[in-house]
Amino acid sequence: MTDSYYQYLRDVQYKDPSNLDARASLHERYSWNRRGLHRWIFDIFLERTSGRILEVGSGPGHLWRRNLSRIPNSLSVFLSDVSQGMIETARNELSSHLPHFHYAVIDAQTIPFSSRKFEAIIANHMIYHLPDIPRALEEMYRVLVSNGCLYATTNDDDHLKEIVELVHSIEPSLVFGSRDFFEDGIIPFGMGNGAGLLSKVFDEVEKYAFDDELVITDAQPLVEYILSFPGNAHEVFSHEDKLTELIARIEEKIRNEGAFKATKSAGMFIATKK
């Protein structure tokens, strides 16, 4: 991942939550696993953690907004993101419910906290965006206490492959999603290679898969989802003929098969500092 792409994510793609919210909405409406990723993350995290928590790349606070009634008052939570707009939204959405939360604009590659400050760190689908992943992991290790854990979620390389294949079949040169910015299309921190990267820094690494699939029965939310991705999908599908073909292809799939189904391949690593 290059510094210029990271800057694009901060200043354009994730300047505010609108693109992320469009994608989250599709997953909430059409995921086969009704437990939901955010509840699954929280279930695992809550069983093992108390004390001071740092979330890096928290976005607008989706994890906490989806679990409002389940958050113990004993947690001292610091939400951080490289985007000022994301942190402002998180504060606006959560401060009235969770007055004991703290908010900061932070780059996970240079965490401005003292060593051994947090019992846990959450990095939810964000490590693969970082230009210097080893440096970020070293920083996360540094600020954890002994026996503290990093909870890091990510995708595998076949995540949403049916959607990727669809848009590229319409426009082969389209730059779609972060994978088109990754070398050889390989996620730099994914379910396949994440354990190896974590093991270079952390003392123990566990891996958990999240079983799910998208079963989409309406074309328009999928179109909005596609237009929200990093890259040039919004520009390509601003041409009426391309947009018409996209909608027609989705609607044909739904009509013939009952739904447009897309593979979800995601999970979590729990990395422990002994």
Note the pLDDT tens digit of each residue in 2-38: 788 889 889 999 999 999 998 999 999 999 999 999 9
> What confidence score (pLDDT) does residue 151 get?
98
> What confidence score (pLDDT) does residue 144 get?
98
Strands 102-105 and 76-81: parallel
- Between 263 and 230, the more confident residue is 263
Q: Residue count of the chain, please give it.
A: 274
Mean pLDDT of 85-110: 96
Could you give the C-alpha distances from 247 to 159, 218, 220, 237, 260, in angstroms and in order?
21, 10, 8, 10, 12
Assess contact for 148 and 120: CB atoms under 8 A. Answer: yes
Other CB atoms within a 10 A radius of the CB of residue 147 amount to 11
Assess contact for 23 and 225: CB atoms under 8 A. Answer: yes
What is the average pLDDT score of the chain? 94
Give the up-direction half-sphere exposure of residue 48: CA atoms within 13 A in the CB hemisphere: 17
> What confidence score (pLDDT) does residue 1 get?
63
Mean pLDDT of 256-268: 97
67: Cβ–Cβ under 8 A, 6 or more apart, which residues? 38, 39, 42
Mean pLDDT of 219-236: 94
What is d(CA 63, CA 39) in angstroms, rounded to the nearest whole number?
Answer: 8
Q: What is the CA radius of gyration of the chain?
A: 19
Mean pLDDT of 124-135: 96
> What confidence score (pLDDT) does residue 90 get?
97
> What confidence score (pLDDT) does residue 5 get?
83
What is d(CA 4, CA 68) in angstroms, rounded to the nearest whole number?
Answer: 35
> What confidence score (pLDDT) does residue 38 get?
95
Give the up-direction half-sphere exposure of residue 22: CA atoms within 13 A in the CB hemisphere: 16
All structural domains of the chain: 3-156+181-212+265-273 (3.40.50.150)
pLDDT tens digits, one per residue of 170-198: 999 998 877 777 877 789 999 999 999 99
